[in-house]
Amino acid sequence: MAVGQKRKRPASDPVPTAAKPASKLTKTITHTVIANSGLKGEGEKAKTEDAVERQQLLDLIASSPTTTPFEKRVLSLLCQIPRGRVSTYGLLSARLGSSPRAVGGALRRNPFAPRVPCHRVVAAGGGLGGFKGAWPRDGVGITLDEKRKLLRGEGVKFDAKGRVLGTPWGEFV
């Protein structure tokens, strides 16, 4: 095989896992879940509405002529992350058998943001990472402020250093 040429993995090969064990990826982040209002039937109605919206988003992603098959897989996984929860680039990449950078690249090109919630993906240490393809300068940036605002609107809490509190969600199907 030529130097620099990638080998295609046969479909029968097992999917590679992340370089770090999941326990290290999930070590420092904890989550906050939005509390239910307590009204009977409201929780079931919300679940039904979420399922309908999720299916609409999946249909939108599948029919997109501008996204690659890999981007469609990444965006489809995003739809599984519940409102008020976050996941990490590492957890998504482990599920997809790719690298966190590849996942970040696909999120940067998300044409459906914020409906397809790329803002719910953070760095392994709870930092916000990049958003809309931009990294912060000195910890601040308009795009990160926007990401923080979207997450706060969903009930996600932050520590004094601006890191997300809670355990990242990784129950991908």
Catalytic residue numbers read: 118
Lookup result for tokens 């482990």: 94
Tokens of 38: 């307590």
What residue type is 47 in one-letter code? K
The candidate with the shortest Cα–Cα distance to 120, out of 135, 111, 112, 131, is 131
CB atoms within 10 A of CB 136: 18
Task: Please state, in angstroms and rounded to a whole number, the distance separating the CA atoms of residues 130 and 156.
Answer: 17
Alpha-carbon distance of 57 to 51, in angstroms, equals 10
Contacts of 30 (CB under 8 A, 6+ apart): 165, 166, 167
| The pair of three-digit structure tokens given for residue 74, joined into one six-digit string | 């990444």
Cα 21 to its chain centre, rounded Å, is 18
Beta bridge partners of 66: none
